[in-house]
């Protein structure tokens, strides 16, 4: 079933790809024309051999002796210009198509839902954007080149050979299928080896990148020897596959030449038979042989076309599949400038996949603007899932969520998310300056005073000040140059500057040293002030101060109340509290 669907879509893929070339049809037409000229000049080159031999050497015709060199230069000039136009024009179209495809893919990445990212790894997505797009353009360019230019060249040369001598052409034509078959077989082997080389290259890069990223683990676990052995294995495999390819390459060329020479030997034998010698001049003979050898190269490329196309089709499929992913549903129409911040969940249920189990069931609670609600519960009980429904990273499978009495599914996505700041367990920083990281998401500039004020309230100013370049310090990829606590404080400063009525806080489980902890604690208190806060709490102090505590278990709410109420009740919360905080 899937196979048939794929076969059918190959045609659609071509059509779709062609639609990207359409805007450049004028250049494309010029390219085709120059290919025609090129094919003509190739034939002319074989053809000029006849007057060159007969006229110049045999008959010593002064006119021909004078004009042959000029004609040769002329042919090469035309051929060169045609070649340049073809290569440049095709390259120009291909680069434009690649850029368009990349832009579309990147735009799509910006609008894809969280569920899409759950299912794909960043490595896969990157390779689509980097390699697959190139491969599509590569294959398409090659296909056009071979289908048009090489085919025309072959036709031109063959026509010339038939014109020179029909019988000899027929003999040559008989060897063509053998050469074709052989080249086809060899390229099939190439394809198989190339695939395993690709895979083993993947292994090499995979194994080494694991060591590069996990260098701390490798060191602490003392697993250098183990990793070295693992790498040696993939490295050896890669070398063996490469050698297979080199061996195939090294034998294929001589074998093809041998077959060609067999054909040549037959031609020479026949051409020098007494009956033949009467009709065939030296010029005809040399011209014929030249054409015969010139046919080999385009013929070789023609037989390789299919494998190239297959790779291109696979890549195009991967690119277009990504482009066809449905973007986040944004069907809400209602505007919301700034919410007050009342939040109500009403019998909310959720599952990540239609056929997976329910992660949330019958979740109902309500908080007023400015209040803090804390979610506690075992790992995997659904806390992160619950809060990620609020910015509509996922949509509830049942029930509704309201902000200020408006169902959030009625709101425009942009307006909804404008109301919410997110401070996560894993802080994501961008490879930019501290100032730009704090002001991230603000269109246009933000005055430095406001950034500094936010940094101060987030207790980040203490350490920023001490950095040699202050706010202009580059933080490195994902803030690698900062400590965990410093990163968190930058995230808090970012949320403070954004100043949204609603705040979602997924507290870090790992506690920091008491000094940093104290800083972050009071930074968070600054941030939570006069904001509706949903906090997934691990710190006792946060939980104690919350206006409402929701205790989760296995996707359900099992208890709600204040700290004291729940302790008095002596059930789930009291138990959790005893387990988690007994040492405090
Ligand atoms: N993207 C996802 N796709 C499918 N299932 C998921 C996804 N994220 C979480 N889950 C599942 O949903 C359940 C709830 O996960 P969730 O992350 O909400 O728990 P949590 O209460 O936040 O746990 P923790 O305290 O460890 O952060 C878990 O069983 C988890 O396996
Ligand atoms: Mg969580």
Residue of the CA atom closest to atom 22 of ligand 1: 384
Q: What is the whole-number distance in angstroms between the Cα of residue 547 and the centre of ligand 2?
A: 21
Contact assessment for residue 361 and residue 553, using Cβ atoms and an 8 Å cutoff: no
State the ligand closest to the CA atom of 506.
2
Pocket-testing residue among 351, 384, 536, ligand 1, by greatest number of atoms within 8 A of Cβ: 384
Q: What is the whole-number distance in angstroms between the Cα of residue 116 and the centre of ligand 1?
A: 16
Q: What is the whole-number distance in angstroms between the Cα of residue 377 and the centre of ligand 2?
A: 10
Q: What is the whole-number distance in angstroms between the Cα of residue 506 and the centre of ligand 2?
A: 7
Contact assessment for residue 389 and residue 365, using Cβ atoms and an 8 Å cutoff: no
Q: Across residues 189-195, what is the average pLDDT?
A: 75
Parallel/antiparallel/unpaired status of strands 532-536 and 502-506: parallel
Q: Across residues 312-329, what is the average pLDDT?
A: 86
CA separation for the pair 291, 159 (Å, rounded):
10
- Tell me the CA distances in angstroms from 502 to 198, 391, 444, one per residue in order: 49, 10, 23
CA separation for the pair 104, 324 (Å, rounded):
11
What is the DSSP annotation of 44-89?
A: HHHHHHHHIIIIIIII--HHHHHHHHHHHHHHHHHHHHHHHHHHHH
Statement: residue 383 has pLDDT above 60? yes
Residue of the CA atom closest to atom 8 of ligand 1: 385
CA separation for the pair 231, 398 (Å, rounded):
49
Pocket-testing residue among 349, 376, 381, 550, ligand 1, by greatest number of atoms within 8 A of Cβ: 381
CA separation for the pair 582, 574 (Å, rounded):
11
Return the ligand 1 atom nearest residue 555 CA: 14
Residue 484 pLDDT class (50, 70, 90 cuts): confident
pLDDT at 481: 78
Q: What is the whole-number distance in angstroms between the Cα of residue 385 and the centre of ligand 1?
A: 6
pLDDT at 7: 52
Picking from 430, 485, 431, the residue whose alpha carbon sits closest to that of residue 463 is: 485
pLDDT at 373: 93
Q: What is the whole-number distance in angstroms between the Cα of residue 551 and the centre of ligand 1?
A: 16
Pocket-testing residue among 112, 377, 380, ligand 1, by greatest number of atoms within 8 A of Cβ: 380
Residue 183 pLDDT class (50, 70, 90 cuts): confident
What is the DSSP annotation of 89-135?
A: HHHHHHHHHHHHHHHHHHHHHHH--HHHHHHS-HHHHHHIIIIIHHH
Pocket-testing residue among 350, 359, 394, ligand 1, by greatest number of atoms within 8 A of Cβ: 359
CA separation for the pair 494, 489 (Å, rounded):
9
Residue 188 pLDDT class (50, 70, 90 cuts): confident
Return the ligand 1 atom nearest residue 118 CA: 1
The C-alpha R_g of the chain, in whole angstroms, comes to: 36
| 23-56 pLDDT, tens digit each | 999 999 999 999 999 999 999 999 999 988 888 8
Ligand 1 pocket at CB < 6 A: 118, 352, 359, 377, 379-385
Residue 261 CB partners (closer than 8 Å, separation 6+): none
Q: What is the whole-number distance in angstroms between the Cα of residue 420 and the centre of ligand 1?
A: 21
CA separation for the pair 470, 483 (Å, rounded):
16
State the ligand closest to the CA atom of 117.
1
- What DSSP designation does 473 have? -
Q: What is the whole-number distance in angstroms between the Cα of residue 88 and the centre of ligand 1?
A: 53
Residue 295 pLDDT class (50, 70, 90 cuts): confident
Return the ligand 1 atom nearest residue 385 CA: 18
pLDDT at 546: 87
| 440-460 pLDDT, tens digit each | 877 777 888 888 888 888 888
Tell me which H or E stretch contains 346: strand 343-350
Q: Across residues 384-397, what is the average pLDDT?
A: 92
Q: How many helices (H) and strands (E) does the chain have?
A: 22, 10
Return the ligand 1 atom nearest residue 552 CA: 21
Q: What is the whole-number distance in angstroms between the Cα of residue 347 and the centre of ligand 1?
A: 19
State the ligand closest to the CA atom of 385.
1
Residues having C-beta closer than 5 Å to ion ligand 2: 384
CA separation for the pair 130, 145 (Å, rounded):
23
Residue 6 pLDDT class (50, 70, 90 cuts): low
Q: Is 180 helix (H, G, I), strand (E, B) or coil?
A: helix
CA separation for the pair 529, 41 (Å, rounded):
80
CA separation for the pair 11, 23 (Å, rounded):
20
State the ligand closest to the CA atom of 359.
1
Contact assessment for residue 405 and residue 474, using Cβ atoms and an 8 Å cutoff: no
pLDDT at 510: 57
Q: What is the whole-number distance in angstroms between the Cα of residue 384 and the centre of ligand 2?
A: 4
Q: What is the whole-number distance in angstroms between the Cα of residue 379 and the centre of ligand 1?
A: 8
State the ligand closest to the CA atom of 386.
1
| 89-124 pLDDT, tens digit each | 999 999 999 999 999 999 999 999 998 888 877 777
Q: What is the whole-number distance in angstroms between the Cα of residue 306 and the centre of ligand 2?
A: 50
CA separation for the pair 352, 119 (Å, rounded):
11
Residue of the CA atom closest to atom 12 of ligand 1: 359
CA separation for the pair 447, 113 (Å, rounded):
33
Picking from 82, 87, 203, the residue whose alpha carbon sits closest to that of residue 144 is: 87
CA separation for the pair 352, 397 (Å, rounded):
9
Contact assessment for residue 85 and residue 31, using Cβ atoms and an 8 Å cutoff: yes
Structural domains for the chain? 2-323 (1.20.1560.10), 343-583 (3.40.50.300)
CA separation for the pair 263, 572 (Å, rounded):
90
User: What stretches of 214-223 show up as alpha helix (H) in DSSP?
Assistant: 215-220
Residue of the CA atom closest to atom 27 of ligand 1: 379
Statement: residue 391 has pLDDT above 80? yes
Return the ligand 1 atom nearest residue 388 CA: 18
pLDDT at 514: 67
pTM of the predicted model, to two decimals?
0.77
Beta bridge partners of 423: 505
CA separation for the pair 27, 12 (Å, rounded):
23
Q: Across residues 411-415, what is the average pLDDT?
A: 90
Average of per-residue pLDDT values in the chain? 85
């Amino acid at each position: 079933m899937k196979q048939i669907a794929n076969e059918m879509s190959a045609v659609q893929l071509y059509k779709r790809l062609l639609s990207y070339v359409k805007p450049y049809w004028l250049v494309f037409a010029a390219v085709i024309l120059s290919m025609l000229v090129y094919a003509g000049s190739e034939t002319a080159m074989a053809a000029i051999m006849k007057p060159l031999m007969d006229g110049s050497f045999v008959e010593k015709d002064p006119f021909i002796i004078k004009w042959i060199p000029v004609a040769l230069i002329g042919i090469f000039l035309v051929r060169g210009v045609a070649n340049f136009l073809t290569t440049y024009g095709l390259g120009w179209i291909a680069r434009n198509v690649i850029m368009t495809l990349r832009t579309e893919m990147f735009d799509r990445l910006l609008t894809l839902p969280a569920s899409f990212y759950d299912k794909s790894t960043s490595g896969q997505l990157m390779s689509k954007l980097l390699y697959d797009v190139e491969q599509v353009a590569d294959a398409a360019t090659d296909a056009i080149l071979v289908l048009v230019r090489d085919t025309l060249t072959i036709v031109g040369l063959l026509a010339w050979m038939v014109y020179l001598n029909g019988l000899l052409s027929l003999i040559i034509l008989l060897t063509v299928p053998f050469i074709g078959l052989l080249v086809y077989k060899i390229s099939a082997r190439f394809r198989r080896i190339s695939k395993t080389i690709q895979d083993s290259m993947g292994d090499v890069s995979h194994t080494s990148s694991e060591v590069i990223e996990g260098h701390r683990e490798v060191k602490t676990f003392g697993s250098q020897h183990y990793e070295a052995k693992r790498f040696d294995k993939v490295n050896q495999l890669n070398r063996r596959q490469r050698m297979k390819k080199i061996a195939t390459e090294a034998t294929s060329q001589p074998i093809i030449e041998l077959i060609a020479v067999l054909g040549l030997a037959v031609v020479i034998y026949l051409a020098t038979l007494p009956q033949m010698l009467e009709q065939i001049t030296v010029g005809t003979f040399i011209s014929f042989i030249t054409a015969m050898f010139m046919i080999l190269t385009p013929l070789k490329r023609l037989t390789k076309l299919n494998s190239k196309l297959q790779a291109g089709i696979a890549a195009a499929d991967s690119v277009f599949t990504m482009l066809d992913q449905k973007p986040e549903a944004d069907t809400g129409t209602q505007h919301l400038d700034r919410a007050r911040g009342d939040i109500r969940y009403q019998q909310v249920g959720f599952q990540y996949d239609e056929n997976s189990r329910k992660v949330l069931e019958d979740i109902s609670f309500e908080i007023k603007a400015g209040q803090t609600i804390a979610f506690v519960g075992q790992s995997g009980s659904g806390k992160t899932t619950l809060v990620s429904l609020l910015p509509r990273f996922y949509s509830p499978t049942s029930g509704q969520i309201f902000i200020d009495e408006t169902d959030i599914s009625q709101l425009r996505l942009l307006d909804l998310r404008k109301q919410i700041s997110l401070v996560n367990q894993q802080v994501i920083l961008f490879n930019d300056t501290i100032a730009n990281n704090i002001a991230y998401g603000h269109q246009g500039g933000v005055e430095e005073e406001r950034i500094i004020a936010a940094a101060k309230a987030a207790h980040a100013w203490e350490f920023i000040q001490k950095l040699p370049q202050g706010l202009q310090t580059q933080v490195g990829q994902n803030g690698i140059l900062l400590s965990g606590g410093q990163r968190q404080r930058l995230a808090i400063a970012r949320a403070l500057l954004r100043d949204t009525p609603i705040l979602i806080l997924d507290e870090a489980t790992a506690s920091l040293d008491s000094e940093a902890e104290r800083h972050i604690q009071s930074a968070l208190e600054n941030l939570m002030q006069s904001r509706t806060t949903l906090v997934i709490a691990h710190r006792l102090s946060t939980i104690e101060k919350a206006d409402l505590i929701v205790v989760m278990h296995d996707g359900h709410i099992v208890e709600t109340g204040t700290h004291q109420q729940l302790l008095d009740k002596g059930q789930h919360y009291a138990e959790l509290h005893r387990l988690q905080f007994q040492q405090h």
